[in-house]
Amino acid sequence: MQASDRFNINSQLEHLQAKYVGTGHADLNRFEWAVNIQRDSYASYVGHYPLLAYFAIAENESIGRERYNFMQKMLLPCGLPPEREDE
């Protein structure tokens, strides 16, 4: 692999990280990463009807109620953020 290839790959990665929030970046902490993963999962559950129907049957709820519950969980999927230690 040449130096120009590495530069090209890094520039493509930086472009993806700027364009899509869920791809992360160097300063992303563990909590923010977990929030991104959980929100992506809930959005996928709501967006794919068969998966939403599966969850509704498994929890014995209506599909609309499951959709509402998933959208509510998207607000704080991992609870409150931890307190930061500013130095």
pLDDT (0 to 100) of residue 86:
67
Amino acid identity at 74: M
Nearest 10 degrees: Cα torsion 47, 48, 50, 52: -40
pLDDT, tens digit, 9 for 90 and up, residues 17-76? 778 766 777 777 888 888 988 999 999 999 999 999 999 999 999 999 999 999 999 999
What tokens were used for 22? 């869920």
pLDDT (0 to 100) of residue 80:
87
pLDDT (0 to 100) of residue 48:
97
